[in-house]
Structure 1
Amino acid sequence: MAMAAAIVATMPALKHLIRITFTPPFPRKLQKFHSLASLSPNFAQEDPQQQRLEQEQHNQLTNNNKTSRSSSSASYFPKRGQTLELVCESLAFKGKGVCKVAETGFVVMCDRALPGERFIGRVTRRKGSYAEVTKVETITPHWDLVDAPCEYAPYCGGCKTQNLSYESQLRAKEQQVRELTIHVGKFLDKVPEFCSIMKPIVPCVIQFHYRNKMEFSFGSKKWLPKELLGEKQVGNEKYALGLHAPGFFDKVLNVDKCLLQSEPANMVLAAIQDCWRDSQFGLTPYDVHSHTGFLKHLMLRTGRNAETGLPELMVNFVTSLYKPELLKPLVEKISAIPEVVSIMNNVNTSVGNTSVGEEEYTLYGKSTITEILRGLTFQISANSFFQTNTHQAEVLYKLIEDCAGLRGDGSQIVLDLFCGTGTIGLTLARRAKHVYGYEVVPQAISDAHRNAKLNRISNATFVQGDLNKIDESFGNNFPKPDIVISEGEGS
């Protein structure tokens, strides 16, 4: 299930100041606010705030079990390996099912359990005052069962709830935002203001092929489902290119396509899968244990040509060394695909798993692709941050513009905090007097300046700096703002 995002617009005592906060994937602790909206699927990347949200849900489960035990005559905690009959009541963070043990009401968490489903689960781990289980057998399925269109859905950890109807996914996301607003934000849902600010979730009209960026991993150990574990894998057959299997940092689920990315991107993936294991090329995947091997990651980015509106692709190979001669056969094969306009090579010599290299080389074509957003053209490099769902980003930015309420007379100052590559601020610049953007990542600031110049926007200033280390003099660096936008660190 793709996670929701929330927009919060606040109007504090100072009447002319409006603050808009974009907090992916769920709202932070909220005080007074004017409107709250949610968008889906998720177009924001994961950030450290997720750990805090998971802790909040952990605390909530703990409290629920304390309540259920206090109402029982005896303390109850299932043992590891014990099988239980369970009913899934709702979906929690990252799509885990919140389930209750029949008769006792004890709360457990289960991957791939869906609301309304009754099933048998085996306890695998005790975590605090609740337990985690693995589904063994379904007794009765959930009420909105659909066939998952992806053949990898039963194994891949990327789309855990693909067999849940999209309408049910939307309801689950909206319920999560509502509960976090109440429990984390300490906002009373009984007061009239709550109904006025909690807006219906905004669905995405495109449920598949919406992501403009996908990252795949090369692996020396192919992950296999249980039914194929008996098959012998020899030589290059053990190699894989795809997505990490849930819970395994060293095993990769081999995939030939992904329904989240564009069709041209799937053509590139299929072309690489067709030949990279060929022994004559001498290509080896990086081994995370021995720290040997050449190929680490494959990143595919899809944009749109600013003149024709047609798709254009960037292919980025992340390798442990700079050896362009090894990549030459792959470059020749995929450069024949018309949509491919850029092939890059990021070199990451560290033992870490990051896809950002210390050095970057252009192997074919240009070093950037373009994307069009709210009538503006943006250049995207291999490691640029850009909203991964372009269509829903359009919806988000329109909502931000509506919440900001810019008069359009060029008299208002906009302060864009954690601005990234400046996409939000630049879309507002045409209706503002001036936009000031602040961001800690130097490359993002460089991209913001480049995008402002590309769109001939002169009333935007972007400054590199760590907003977590600001002092009282911070406000002296710009005129008094009328509108403040905060995307939140890590978004």
Structure 2
Amino acid sequence: MADWKKNSLHDLHIDSYTAQGFGLARLEGRVVFIPGTIRGEDWTVQLLKVQKNIAWGRGVKLLTPSPARVEPDCPISGKCGGCQYRHMTYEEELSAKWDRVNDALRRLGGLDLELPPVLGAEDPLRYRNKVQLPVAQGKNGLSIGYFRPRSHDVLDVEDCPLQPLAVTRLREAFKAWMEQWSVPAYDEGTCQGLIRHLYVRTNQAGQSLCCVVANGKKLPQVPELVDALRAAEPGLIGLVLNVNQADTNVILGPEYRTLWGQDFLEETLCGMTFRLSVPSFFQINWAQTQRLYAQAVDFAALTGQETVLDLYCGIGTISLALAQKAGQVIGAEIVPQAIEDAKANAERNKVENTRFFCGDAGAVAAQLAQEGVRPQVICVDPPRKGLAPEVPAILASMAPERIVYVSCDPATLARDAKRLEELGYRAVKVQAVDLFPRTAHVETVVLLGRKFEKSRDHVYLDYEPSAEIDLPGGATYSEIKQWIQAEYDLKVSSLYVAQVKQKHGIVERECYNKPKSENAKQPKCPPEKEAAIEAALKHFKMI
């Protein structure tokens, strides 16, 4: 039995990767995670943290290197928590991400889908259009850079291969200003000090917007700071102060003041212009976002007639891309400022076939369903935690023809796709897009279509009563089905109507709720059809 304890050494073979980008090895059936390793390699590994069946280790000696191993192009690779894949070729990174998405869809989602190669970036460098640099005073002086992995220890990073050179120049000038005027950095332990973060946005036009996050409502020597930043970066168009005096890990506080210039910049995406303030959400990789949204629009298969519901719409980027090919698009987002930005972006781009609502995705979808809004396509782009537990059933109850799911986490995507499968929506297409080269993150788009009622595995019965029967409220089976067809564009069987009626205590003939033979399998009414039938029964005052 292997020595399973902290600091013990073991020669291990790297089998695969974790979702976090670590190499994964096995020691007598137990799992060991080792950062900085590549599958196929053999390492001498020191165990650093040991649990019952899982351990985290450190590679201390490379015994058999992989052909995919390269010299990292960053001097602090491995020390900084920003990148996980700088020690391997980009081709191996894309392969690792393909494996991650494919494994999640099959193992967690139970989906048998053909996953095409990941759409990689033409240039995996200098793509981040938003950078947030923590500021701290350490033993070796002032540090402005990035956190070490799983800590709040700030590394002083002069340059990062993922950030535009404009950020590098602004950081250098800002650090010199702090040192020249003895401006104190914020201390998380004591909640004292002033400067918490340096935040920079950039756009394709070469402009920059700089924000200083401070534990106070004023900055000293503002004219000198403006002069220093403008001299370092001619493309700077604005300097904003964000006030964050809370004892929290949240970066931005609630209050903003414009110290110089303008408090926003504009960016083009999918042929449209978006105005971005400091707190606005916008994907950080411009080129790959264009490919991601193009994939979502392609999966939506719009003809110009459809009503599209875009949940988690943010500032309306996907909504406006969809609106170019849809009849109308309804966007929903829980952040009030984002909805205001979405409305302004629609007006700015003269897009008139959009509406935006502020509210929780599930609540807005439920409200629209109650109002009888029947979208043919629903697009969702939820946060990393995926859809809230109640949302899949609400989506299914609206009976769209297609659901386009844009995801930043393959695991929660697979979980939600499995839930939607149970509600009558089968995943039919998938495409992964690498928005975050050199990191472990990957975006995925999945198309889910409404399943047909007939399948090879079941015999679905759809028979009509031998005679129309007058029901309470005066509605016949045909009238109920015709009403549902007109209101919901949804076909339901008499069997399903009978099942829902029986659920609500409306029973005429027992045979309506039974299959015609003992060997036939009788399906249960799907949730979205049950909701439509109940709406019809209420309409005809039967319940």
TM interval, shorter chain, is 0.7 to 0.9
Secondary structure in 1 matching 2:203: strand
The answer (yes or no) to whether the contact 1:113–1:135 under 8 Å persists in 2 is yes
Counting only pairs closer than 5 Å after superposition, residues 358-373 of structure 1 correspond to structure 2 as 358-373=254-269
Matched, 1:239 2:109: no
- List alignment gaps of at least 5 residues for structure 2: 385-407, 409-543
* CA shift for structure 1 position 442: 0.8
1:349 alignment partner in structure 2? 245
Distance 1:326 1:347, change over 3 A: farther
* CA shift for structure 1 position 325: 2.9
Report the TM-score when normalising by structure 1. Answer: 0.75
1:397 alignment partner in structure 2? 293
Which of 254, 258, 277 is 2:156 aligned to? Answer: 254
Matched, 1:152 2:48: no
1:165 & 1:391 partners in 2: Cα distance? 20
Which of 170, 173, 185 is 1:271 aligned to? Answer: 173
2:212 alignment partner in structure 1? 317
Secondary structure in 2 matching 1:277: helix
2:206 & 2:268 partners in 1: Cα distance? 11
The answer (yes or no) to whether the contact 1:346–1:360 under 8 Å persists in 2 is yes
1:218 & 1:120 partners in 2: Cα distance? 36
2:317 & 2:365 partners in 1: Cα distance? 26
Alpha-carbon RMSD across the aligned residues, in angstroms, is: 1.8
The answer (yes or no) to whether the contact 2:332–2:364 under 8 Å persists in 1 is no
Bigger relative contact order, structure 1 or 2 (CA pairs below 8 A, ≥6 apart): 1
1:99 alignment partner in structure 2? 25
The answer (yes or no) to whether the contact 2:36–2:85 under 8 Å persists in 1 is yes
1:429 alignment partner in structure 2? 323
1:213 alignment partner in structure 2? 130
1:82 alignment partner in structure 2? 8
2:504 alignment partner in structure 1? none
1:154 & 1:129 partners in 2: Cα distance? 25
The answer (yes or no) to whether the contact 1:414–1:483 under 8 Å persists in 2 is yes
* CA shift for structure 1 position 248: 2.0
Secondary structure in 2 matching 1:450: helix
1:471 & 1:424 partners in 2: Cα distance? 17
- Between the aligned residues of both structures, percent identity stands at 29
2:298 & 2:278 partners in 1: Cα distance? 32
The answer (yes or no) to whether the contact 1:412–1:434 under 8 Å persists in 2 is yes
* CA shift for structure 1 position 127: 3.3
Secondary structure in 2 matching 1:402: helix
* CA shift for structure 1 position 369: 0.4
Question: Which has the higher mean CA deviation after the structures are superposed, 319-328 or 331-340?
Answer: 319-328
Matched, 1:177 2:73: no
Higher-Rg member (1/2): 2
Which of 327, 349, 361 is 1:467 aligned to? Answer: 361
Aligned residue type for 2:15: E
Aligned residue type for 1:109: F
2:197 alignment partner in structure 1? 297
* CA shift for structure 1 position 173: 0.3
- List alignment gaps of at least 5 residues for structure 1: 1-73, 189-193, 222-232, 305-309
Question: Which has the higher mean CA deviation after the structures are superposed, 471-480 or 175-184?
Answer: 471-480
* CA shift for structure 1 position 438: 0.6
* CA shift for structure 1 position 100: 2.3
2:339 alignment partner in structure 1? 445
The answer (yes or no) to whether the contact 2:38–2:69 under 8 Å persists in 1 is no
Aligned residue type for 1:80: K
The answer (yes or no) to whether the contact 2:30–2:53 under 8 Å persists in 1 is no
* CA shift for structure 1 position 92: 1.0
Report the TM-score when normalising by structure 2. Answer: 0.68
Q: Deviations over 1:153-205 (max 9, x none)?
A: 131111122010000000000011111111110124xxxxx33xx22211110
Secondary structure in 1 matching 2:263: coil
* CA shift for structure 1 position 142: 2.2
The answer (yes or no) to whether the contact 1:116–1:143 under 8 Å persists in 2 is no
* CA shift for structure 1 position 128: 4.6
